[in-house]
Amino acid sequence: MGRIKCIGILTSGGDAPGMNAAIRAVTRSAIYNGFKVKGIYRGYKGLVFNEIKEFGTQNVSNIIQQGGTILKTARCEEFLTPEGREVAFENYKKEGLDALVIIGGDGSLTGARIFAEEFDVPCIGLPGTIDNDLSGTDTTIGYDTALNTIIEAVDKIRDTATSHERLFFIEVMGRDAGFLALNGAIASGAEAAIIPEFATEVDQLEELIKHGFRKSKNSSIVLVAESPKTGGAMHYAERVKNEFPGYEVRVSILGHLQRGGRPTAHDRILASRLGAAAIDAIKDGQRNVMIGIENDEIVNVPFSKAIKKDKPIKTELVDVLKELSI
Ligand code: ADP
């Protein structure tokens, strides 16, 4: 493999606040270190359909504070097929790219891993997802902002819950991971969280009725992770109506508002550090790793480990929530 001169950067999958800060960091750090940078638009679609443009430092000015991604993001069906990836590789070569930085969730990093193996392309991943569901990193770009958005919304809903003495099930994102629901519940003082990690182990509704979720409370708020494994907030509201009549139940689904908004200081700093570390990794000859953070230190995590979907939920957090919601 020859010397790397030109680095392509793309954002893929679900958008997350802080992706722009990451694009800025990768671009500026690359240019600082003497690389050429090309922005690839709409995730892997930009590679397949050749929507690629050279970036200078000014292309990433004034974006650190913006949610979303200036490179746009997309889900790309074509990239799921070997033929589609072949076309992507043709464009990669045509554009003179020597390496890729991919900012996205586990789907995007899975795609990167396959592309890297098939065509011997050096790929570096950055964990960009509000769900915090990538392994080998304590946190992901966008997770802290989404948590803050959730607690702002829950604080507001609590005013109504308290005034009307209601039980609210609030559905939050997270796919098959309960980090947003669990830490969102702790941070907003909610009574409980229903998370996919425990969906098959226990009946979480019965558990929460047993542990201090009492009618004597004026109001109660339960955060439910949206996931086929939990069945979502509507499912639990129906169950309460049928199995525990007497509660006045309401459901609120926070939906896409959790994905937008100005990134927090935490996410901006994380994205900046990871972005700069991606370029360090390329300089070091690293490939096919996700840059993560562990105990406030930068770590390089092989793609195979990052996408394993086995990131554990700390039981200590579950205990804290239980103890503090009496
Ligand atoms: P996220 O990165 O947020 O998890 P997705 O799971 O939707 O989002 O993945 C984003 C994109 O990554 C997909 O649209 C596809 O282009 C690519 N991708 C995902 N999984 C694969 C795969 N197994 N093989 C090739 N590309 C994939």
What distance in Å separates the CA atoms of residue 286 and residue 210, rounded to the nearest whole number? Answer: 51
pLDDT at 190: 94
**Which residues of the chain register pLDDT less than 70?**
1, 209-218
Residue 188 included in any domain: yes
Its pTM stands at: 0.96
Asked whether residue 138 falls in the same domain as residue 184, the answer is no
State the CATH number of the domain containing residue 206: 3.40.50.460
| Best mutation site among 72, 85, 108, 309 for ligand 1 pocket (most ligand atoms within 8 Å of CB) | 108
pLDDT at 247: 81
Residue 167 included in any domain: yes
State the CATH number of the domain containing residue 24: 3.40.50.450
| Best mutation site among 81, 86, 110 for ligand 1 pocket (most ligand atoms within 8 Å of CB) | 110
For residue range 280-300, what is the model confidence (pLDDT) as tens digits?
999 999 999 999 999 999 999
What distance in Å separates the CA atoms of residue 40 and residue 262, rounded to the nearest whole number? Answer: 23
pLDDT at 217: 64
Q: Is 44 in the pocket of ligand 1 (CB under 6 A)?
A: yes
Strand (E) or helix (H) holding 317? helix 315-324
Which residues belong to the active site? Answer: 131
pLDDT at 215: 52
Residue 323 included in any domain: no
pLDDT at 135: 97
Quote the number of domains for the chain: 2
297 burial level (CB within 10 Å; 0-12, 13-18, 19+): exposed
pLDDT at 316: 96
pLDDT at 198: 85
Closest residue by Cα to residue 309 from 108, 113, 135, 109: 135
Asked whether residue 275 falls in the same domain as residue 255, the answer is no
What residues make up the domain containing 206? 144-259
Cross-strand bridge partners of residue 100: 8, 123
- In the chain, which ranges are continuous DSSP H helix? 19-32, 44-48, 82-94, 106-119, 143-164, 179-188, 204-210, 232-243, 265-283, 303-306, 315-324
